[in-house]
Chain A
Amino acid sequence: MADTIAAISTAVQKSGIAIIRISGDDALSVADKVFSGKKSLKDAKSHSMNYGKVIFQGEVVDECLCSVMLTPNSYTKENVVEINVHGGIISAERTLKAVLASGARIANAGEFTLRAFLNGRMDLSQAEAVADIIDSKTGLAQSVAVNQLQGKLTNGINEIRAEIIKILGLISVSTDFPDEDVDSLSGEDTKEKLIKLLKSVNKLIENADKGKILREGALCAICGRPNVGKSSLLNCLSGEERAIVTEIAGTTRDIIEEYINIKGIPVRLGDTAGIRENTGKVETIGVKKAVEYIKNADLCLFLIDAGELFTKDDAEIYSMIKDKPHITVINKTDLDNKALIPDEIDNKIYISVKDKKGIEELENKIHDTILGGNFSSDDVMITNTRHKEAVRLAKEELESAINALDTGFTPDMAAINLENAANHLGKITGMTVSDEVIHEIFSKFCLGK
């Protein structure tokens, strides 16, 4: 007997599609509690898609498509229902809430794959490697929108890969046909081409992080010394009174997090404890946690109190965050400006939580900083860890190739790294890199006896 677990398995903000996966004995009855369609999912056939609505507490959360996969013909070999919703991360979260309220429990990280393993689907090492493939396969099969997004990504990767094959062709032709009068690629030329390629790869990786942000939310830490208004800002941005606001410095001990939507980006906003240097050493567990939290953040909001002098503590905190993406938020502008902020402190924005001034501007700035300003919907995004890993490995190989050329190795040696890179970026069915390189050689060069 397997209890029923659920989690958001894919969430793609741009297309608005998200999948909530439910697996276990009661998957169907749990899903039926939140699903309203022509017929109940209990009566649906295995591998059918069912159109309907997600209803929670009497309210329509979203339209949805529900796919039903009955045991043993599912990924986990258990009964599986996948609810595809359209309203982005927010409606995905609500749907999950509804599912959890209906008898499922939240799945642990990797628990679907673990079940697949326990139910005899695969061994553990495979399970890890395979999870992503199957994940992306089912995801692909189910939604045209996701398909399009994936298609764009595939194109982006394929373009880079094709360029690698082209370079390999140039290198190989002079090695395999040394007598032919084709211009062979010099080490310098090869390097130049590789540096260009590396730029494209880096762009892809940058966007991969954005893809992750769109899926999982950007982690945004509010930091500043006690009493600058951190908790107030959190409450203001989230529209809820979560954090305690007091005039006593150091009230906030634990990190309080809110999941909010800033201009379409899911943001995990964290109110860190006030950090301050006390008797020369960082004290309290809360402060330690805050330091850790800041380390993991995608963005830091550095709060300063306009009504007080800029202190050594402020400077200390700034030095911790200055190398991370950050915004300096000068709060309490309703008070007389006494702060005298040093010149090197950048990315400033002035607000008053009390008077609700500058909040809209702050939200815009958060949005732009997270997405790097120049982010457009046409950019290729990596939304899947397997793809990201592949691109990362390819990047490493490109760097090794450049390094090899720099240290005096010949292009045919660097070619070994390039073949690895092309392999990481994926194979066209059954066609190996060497087939493609050879095809490239013969289509571009005139060779032979």
Chain B
Amino acid sequence: MDLYDAEKYDVAVIGAGHAGCEAALAAARMGCHVIMFSINLDAIANMPCNPNVGGTAKGHLVREIDALGGEMGKAADDTYIQIKMLNLGKGPAVHSLRAQIDRRRYQERMKKTLEQQENLDIKQAEVVKINFIDGKVSGVVTNMGAIYEVKACVIATGTFLKGNIVIGTLQYSGGPDGMLPANSLSDCLKEAGVKLFRFKTGTPARINRRSVNFDLMEIQKGDDDIVPFSFSTKNPRENRSVCYLTYTNKETHKIIMDNIDRAPLYNHSIHGIGPRYCPSIEDKVVRFKDKERHQIFIEPMGENTEELYVQGMSSSLPEEVQIAMLRTVKGLEDVKMQRTAYAIEYDCQDPTQLKASLEFKDIPGLFGAGQFNGSSGYEEAAAQGLIAGINAALKVKEKEPFTLDRSEAYIGVLIDDLTVKGTNEPYRMLTSRAEYRLLLRQDNADVRLTEKGYQLGLISEKRYKEFLKKKELSEKEIERCEHVNIPPSNEVNELLTSAQSTNISTGIKLGELIRRPELNYFMLAPIDKDRPELDKDVAQEVNIAVKYEGYIKMQIEQVKAFKKLEQKLIPDNLDYSLVAGLKKEAKEKLAKQKPQNIGQASRISGVSPADITVLLIYIEQMKRG
């Protein structure tokens, strides 16, 4: 291959999936010259698996991305065909948005945004090599022989690295959705000392709408009262389509069990580690024998296609078995399968090699994001892409890195989990992973992060001003609720009686009434004479802040304790072998991972509270000399 010197850039982004897109846009918007590579430009922002954005905890990530000035929320708002707030019957911490997306429209929307972005060039090519000078990133080389000199590089290769497709006994080297794999970059990374893993994921079949009998299925609709992802979306679009629910049955399970020896997972021809939360249908049937049926959701892939996604039927069984098992399902008796379900194995890296900025601890200028870091999911990828892109830009500008901790954002939890605890399966965000989740609500993502996005230069002046106004309104109103006195009157007690709430005989603070389980902020409007006119989202925030005040206060206290440990820094070159009293395992883990503070150290597996005590004492002694 003939090499040639191509242009110089500040930042190279390898990969144009959900991580790559956010990384490239963020770095470019922060003023860096960015080049983004994709093996196929038609794969930009593709959704090779489910055509959804959001979901439990993932919806939180999207809103955080949006508050920081990322693109995913806006792109989803422009292209969804159905949207729904999940868990509305539960506490506010776990409300999460999820949307069905028109996959093609989303790709086009994102591709155009990239193409129109100042400072950003996109390029169809495979990056085969990263160059280093003195251990630092100095450039990237494409399969065309072009050498791009860069100061920083974000790897966001998704499932492309040494991608291997598995369908029954069929195996071939390939990327997702019929794309070519990237087979060269892994070797270069290994040479640079990066530790790689092999993970696996899978996707179900796609079928043709005309071959489905929806009469036998349950219809699943979106919300009537629509909340969009982006805080800047003013007029959210209507729902345009529906999903359907059907089930597997004994017959389906029999076909699977009769052919289980042909399943790669069970005849050991797959070596990658798959995620527990998204097992293949054969895995579900084998592991949960007693379950008589499994749910199948039929989801549209877009408005301009008859293709449907069969959620719940991910598989790597041979194609003929897949067709047979699909046809046992109610409503799918005559189904035509357009794309066969497959499993894909791919290279990713051990994320404990990264700092919280997503830069490699030992390779200055090299950043990782998305599935390459061992996560799964578009939203997890986008969140990391945004942080990696921001930090690549800050690196170029020789500024301090930007990080979020566990008390600030789900993004912080995600990155802390990956970089401190590591993962032994593709990592999915869950609300149960966020210990301070009542503070990290989807409704207040803007309050938590807009300021930071603005400081980074990713939030416009106009949007920032609007945000400040909104914030002030809600703060004032929360304050007012705690001070306004509601005197007893016939009108008040009539309202209370109708809500089956105890009547009042003396004055009571509005906040106290809101906190009664059977009441809320909205219900009390008729007796709250001085209530200002507020937007629905502001009113909702006020309601939550007042109603859950007790829990919120408690979590704020917990965060204070958490921050104390995060602020106890561990000296950079601490020699753990000198710390007497540390267990051997703890010593090794700490020396390998080099946590930056005591909080991180305490979350490393194999490090016990007693080890932390010993470490604290040692550092204190060092300080005193």
The answer, yes or no, to whether B93 is at the interface (CB within 8 Å) is: yes
**Interface locus among A9-17, A97-105, A120-128, A212-220:** A120-128
- Kindly report which residue of chain A lies nearest to residue B57, judged by CB atoms: A176
User: Which one of B278, B284, B430 contacts A438 once the chains associate, using CB atoms below 8 Å?
Assistant: B430
Given contacts A176-B430, A408-B517, contact A448 B278 (CB under 8 A): yes
Number of interface residues of B (CB under 8 A): 59
The answer, yes or no, to whether A335 is at the interface (CB within 8 Å) is: no
Which residues of B have CB within 8 Å of A415? 432
The answer, yes or no, to whether A38 is at the interface (CB within 8 Å) is: no
The answer, yes or no, to whether A416 is at the interface (CB within 8 Å) is: yes
- Chain A residues 358 to 412 lying within 8 A of chain B, measured CB to CB, are 407-412
**Interface locus among B110-118, B184-192, B502-510, B614-622:** B614-622
Once the chains are docked, how many angstroms separate the CA of A181 from the CA of B610? 42
The answer, yes or no, to whether A134 is at the interface (CB within 8 Å) is: yes
A310 to chain B, nearest CB (A): 48
User: Which one of B437, B558, B609 contacts A427 once the chains associate, using CB atoms below 8 Å?
Assistant: B609
B440 to chain A, nearest CB (A): 12
A448–B279 contact, CB under 8 A?
yes
A175–B56 contact, CB under 8 A?
yes
B277–A431 contact, CB under 8 A?
no
Which residues of A have CB within 8 Å of B294? 446
The answer, yes or no, to whether B548 is at the interface (CB within 8 Å) is: yes
Given contacts A176-B431, A178-B86, A430-B606, contact A130 B617 (CB under 8 A): yes
User: Which one of B287, B551, B616 contacts A446 once the chains associate, using CB atoms below 8 Å?
Assistant: B287
Once the chains are docked, how many angstroms separate the CA of A46 from the CA of B49? 63
A448–B284 contact, CB under 8 A?
yes
A130, A168, A429, A431: which has the most chain B beta carbons within 10 Å?
A429
- Chain B residues 514 to 564 lying within 8 A of chain A, measured CB to CB, are 517-518, 548, 551, 554-555, 558
A232 to chain B, nearest CB (A): 52
Given contacts A172-B432, A430-B605, contact A137 B620 (CB under 8 A): no
B204, B554, B555: which has the most chain A beta carbons within 10 Å?
B554
B93–A413 contact, CB under 8 A?
yes
- Kindly report which residue of chain B lies nearest to residue A432, judged by CB atoms: B603
Given contacts A168-B432, A176-B57, A419-B435, contact A442 B87 (CB under 8 A): no
A447–B605 contact, CB under 8 A?
no
Which residues of B have CB within 8 Å of A175? 56, 87, 90, 94, 431-432
A73, A134, A413: which has the most chain B beta carbons within 10 Å?
A413
Measured as residues with beta carbon below 8 angstroms from the partner, the interface class of chain A is 35 or more
User: Which one of B314, B435, B606, B609 contacts A434 once the chains associate, using CB atoms below 8 Å?
Assistant: B435
User: Which one of A123, A130, A178, A408 contacts B87 once the chains associate, using CB atoms below 8 Å?
Assistant: A178
The answer, yes or no, to whether B222 is at the interface (CB within 8 Å) is: no
Which residues of B have CB within 8 Å of A180? 295
User: Which one of A126, A179, A431 contacts B617 once the chains associate, using CB atoms below 8 Å?
Assistant: A126
- Kindly report which residue of chain B lies nearest to residue A446, judged by CB atoms: B288
Given contacts A130-B613, A176-B56, A446-B284, contact A410 B438 (CB under 8 A): no
The answer, yes or no, to whether A43 is at the interface (CB within 8 Å) is: no
- Kindly report which residue of chain B lies nearest to residue A137, judged by CB atoms: B610
Once the chains are docked, how many angstroms separate the CA of A447 from the CA of B620? 47
- Kindly report which residue of chain A lies nearest to residue B625, judged by CB atoms: A120
Which residues of A have CB within 8 Å of B620? 120-123, 126
B610–A133 contact, CB under 8 A?
yes
B89–A410 contact, CB under 8 A?
yes
Once the chains are docked, how many angstroms separate the CA of A134 from the CA of B609? 11
Which residues of B have CB within 8 Å of A441? 432
- Chain B residues 10 to 30 lying within 8 A of chain A, measured CB to CB, are none
Once the chains are docked, how many angstroms separate the CA of A175 from the CA of B518? 22
A433–B609 contact, CB under 8 A?
no
A431–B276 contact, CB under 8 A?
no
A449–B56 contact, CB under 8 A?
no
Which residues of A have CB within 8 Å of B86? 178-179
User: Which one of A123, A412, A442 contacts B90 once the chains associate, using CB atoms below 8 Å?
Assistant: A412
The answer, yes or no, to whether A28 is at the interface (CB within 8 Å) is: no
Q: Mark B594-616, 1 if CB is under 8 A from A, else 0.
A: 00000000111111111001001
The answer, yes or no, to whether A435 is at the interface (CB within 8 Å) is: yes
B609–A126 contact, CB under 8 A?
no
Which residues of B have CB within 8 Å of A427? 609
- Kindly report which residue of chain B lies nearest to residue A434, judged by CB atoms: B433
Once the chains are docked, how many angstroms separate the CA of A96 from the CA of B319? 80
A136 to chain B, nearest CB (A): 9
A429–B605 contact, CB under 8 A?
yes
Which residues of A have CB within 8 Å of B221? none
Q: Mark B301-317, 1 if CB is under 8 A from A, else 0.
A: 00000000001101000
User: Which one of B276, B433, B613 contacts A442 once the chains associate, using CB atoms below 8 Å?
Assistant: B276
Once the chains are docked, how many angstroms separate the CA of A282 from the CA of B606? 61
B277–A435 contact, CB under 8 A?
no
- Chain B residues 424 to 468 lying within 8 A of chain A, measured CB to CB, are 430-435, 437-438
B361 to chain A, nearest CB (A): 19
The answer, yes or no, to whether B231 is at the interface (CB within 8 Å) is: no
The answer, yes or no, to whether B178 is at the interface (CB within 8 Å) is: no
B580–A181 contact, CB under 8 A?
no
The answer, yes or no, to whether A54 is at the interface (CB within 8 Å) is: no
Which residues of B have CB within 8 Å of A126? 613, 616-617, 620
B618 to chain A, nearest CB (A): 10
Beyond A130-B613, A412-B91: 10 further Cβ-contacts under 8 Å? Answer: A134-B613, A176-B94, A408-B517, A409-B517, A412-B94, A413-B91, A430-B607, A435-B421, A447-B277, A449-B312
Q: Which 9 A-B pairs have the closest CB atoms?
A: A408-B517, A430-B605, A448-B278, A442-B276, A446-B288, A172-B432, A413-B91, A429-B608, A175-B94
Contact residues of A with B, CB < 8 Å?
Answer: 73, 120-123, 126, 130, 133-134, 137, 168, 172, 175-181, 407-413, 415-416, 419-420, 426-427, 429-435, 437-438, 441-442, 446-449
Q: What would 19 A/B residue contacts be, using CB atoms closer than 8 Å?
A: A120-B624, A126-B616, A126-B617, A137-B610, A175-B56, A410-B89, A412-B87, A412-B94, A412-B431, A413-B93, A413-B551, A416-B555, A426-B609, A429-B607, A430-B608, A434-B434, A442-B277, A446-B284, A448-B276
Contact residues of B with A, CB < 8 Å?
Answer: 49-50, 56-57, 86-87, 89-91, 93-94, 204, 275-279, 284, 287-288, 291, 294-295, 297, 311-312, 314, 421, 430-435, 437-438, 517-518, 548, 551, 554-555, 558, 580, 602-610, 613, 616-617, 620-621, 624
